Structure 1
Amino acid sequence: MTSNKSKGIAHELKSQVMILGGLVALMWILEFIDLFLFRGRLDAYGVLPRNIIGLRGILFMPFLHGGWPHLIANTVPFITLGWLVMLRETSDFFIVTAVTMLVSGMGVWLFGSPGFHIGASGVIFGYLGYLLLRGFFERNLVSILLSVLVGFLYGGIIWGVLPLQQGVSWEGHLFGLIGGVFAARFLSRKT
Structure 2
Amino acid sequence: MEENHFKFTNSVVGVPLFFVLFLWFVYWLEIRFGFDFDENGILPRTFSGLQGVIFSPFIHSNIEHLYNNSIPLLVLLAALFFFYRKEAIEILLYGILLSGSLTWLIGRENYHIGASGLIYVLVSFIFFKGLQTQYYRLVALSLTVVVLYGGMVWYVFPKVDETISWEGHLSGLIAGFVLTFLYKKTEFKKVIKYDWEHPNYDPSEDKFMQRFDENGNFVNPPKPEIIEENQLEINPFFQSNSNVVYNFMKNKENTNEKNESKPES
TM-score by length of 1: 0.89
Amino acid corresponding to residue 30 of structure 1 in structure 2: V
C-alpha offsets along residues 9-67 of structure 1, whole Å, 9 cap, x if unaligned? 56x1x23222111111110010111123134x111111110110110111111111011
Q: Which runs of 5+ in 1 are unaligned?
A: none
Partners of 1:130 and 1:181 within 8 A in 2 = yes
Counterpart pick for 2:161 among 165, 168, 171: 165
Give the direction of change, closer, same or farther, for the CA distance of 1:89–1:131 in structure 2 (3 Å limit): closer
Alpha-carbon distance between aligned partners in 1 of 2:87 and 2:174, rounded to the nearest angstrom:
16
Counterpart pick for 1:189 among 186, 189, 193: 186
Alpha-carbon distance between aligned partners in 2 of 1:30 and 1:100, rounded to the nearest angstrom:
20
Q: Counterpart in 2 of 1:21?
A: 17
Q: CA deviation at 1:190?
A: 4.0
Partners of 2:12 and 2:82 within 8 A in 1 = no
Q: CA deviation at 1:153?
A: 1.4
Q: Counterpart in 2 of 1:43?
A: 38
Q: Counterpart in 2 of 1:111?
A: 106
Partners of 1:100 and 1:176 within 8 A in 2 = yes
Query: Within 5 Å, which residues of 2 pair with 1:111-130?
Result: 111-130=106-125
Alpha-carbon distance between aligned partners in 2 of 1:87 and 1:142, rounded to the nearest angstrom:
12
C-alpha offsets along residues 171-190 of structure 1, whole Å, 9 cap, x if unaligned? 11111111111222223314
Partners of 1:47 and 1:105 within 8 A in 2 = yes
Q: Which runs of 5+ in 2 are unaligned?
A: 189-265
Partners of 1:55 and 1:109 within 8 A in 2 = yes
Counterpart pick for 2:128 among 130, 133, 146: 133
Counterpart pick for 2:69 among 74, 77, 81: 74
Q: CA deviation at 1:88?
A: 2.1
Alpha-carbon distance between aligned partners in 2 of 1:134 and 1:32, rounded to the nearest angstrom:
36
Partners of 1:128 and 1:180 within 8 A in 2 = yes
Q: CA deviation at 1:99?
A: 2.2
Q: CA deviation at 1:145?
A: 1.2
Q: Which has the larger radius of gyration?
A: 2
Percent of aligned pairs with the same residue?
30
Q: Counterpart in 1 of 2:261?
A: none
Alpha-carbon distance between aligned partners in 2 of 1:51 and 1:144, rounded to the nearest angstrom:
40
User: Which has the bigger relative contact order, CA under 8 A and spacing at least 6?
Assistant: 1
Partners of 2:11 and 2:81 within 8 A in 1 = no
Alpha-carbon distance between aligned partners in 2 of 1:140 and 1:91, rounded to the nearest angstrom:
17
Structure 2 residue 79 is the aligned partner of structure 1 residue 84: yes
Q: Counterpart in 2 of 1:58?
A: 53
Alpha-carbon distance between aligned partners in 2 of 1:43 and 1:24, rounded to the nearest angstrom:
18
Partners of 1:99 and 1:180 within 8 A in 2 = no
Partners of 2:123 and 2:176 within 8 A in 1 = yes
C-alpha offsets along residues 64-112 of structure 1, whole Å, 9 cap, x if unaligned? 1011000000000011111111122434221221222122111111110
Alpha-carbon distance between aligned partners in 2 of 1:36 and 1:167, rounded to the nearest angstrom:
25
Number of residues of Structure 1 aligned to a counterpart in Structure 2: 182
TM-score by length of 2: 0.65
